[in-house]
A = this chain, B = another copy of it.
Amino acid sequence: MGWWGDWPHAEETAMNIGQAAAATGVTAKRIRYYEQIGLIEPAGRTDAGYRHFGERDLHTLRFIQSARRLGFSMPKISNLLALWRDQNRSSADVKRLAKEHVAELEQKIAELQSMVDTLKHLSHKCSGDARPDCPIIAGFEGDPS
């Protein structure tokens, strides 16, 4: 258990899940999901069973949302969160994760770009009129290997 695990401080804010969603851009559904898969710690509950979120929780959710928008998967975000909370992290570790992710993104881009190139090449040779002859569709008949 980390030093940050149980803060005796009273939370300044206490939002319910809907307010937290509005404040962070993470839908209520997603917040519950993140809790379920253990990405975030279980939120506190009111007597009635409602979750409540403090500044700290909102901060975490915003962090997740940011990472999400940069295309990080849940497992990767989990790693990033661990580093984020680790006072003794080295920036080298963070940079390495980021670089690995960039490499994956660029690989994906290359694949997509290759598809685009092939399709544009085929399209270029297609008359695009009322006749049925079409190099695009003909190109699909070749060896798919």
Contacts and interface: CB of A to CB of B under 8 A. Distances in A.
A85 to B, nearest CB: 10
Contact of A24 (B66, B80, B120, B144): B144
A109 interface: yes
Main secondary structure of the interface of A (DSSP, over half): helix
Given A101-B119, A112-B109, A139-B66, A94 B144 contact: no
Q: How many copies does the complex hold?
A: 2
Contacts of A46: none
A140 B66 contact: yes
Contact of A95 (B95, B118, B126, B141): B126
Interface of A: 24-25, 59, 62-63, 65-71, 80, 83-84, 86-92, 94-96, 98-99, 101-102, 105-106, 108-109, 112-113, 115-116, 118-120, 122-123, 126-134, 136-137, 139-145
Question: Which 10 residue pairs are nearest across A and B when measured between Cβ atoms?
Answer: A65-B144, A91-B134, A95-B128, A66-B140, A66-B144, A94-B134, A90-B130, A71-B115, A92-B128, A95-B126
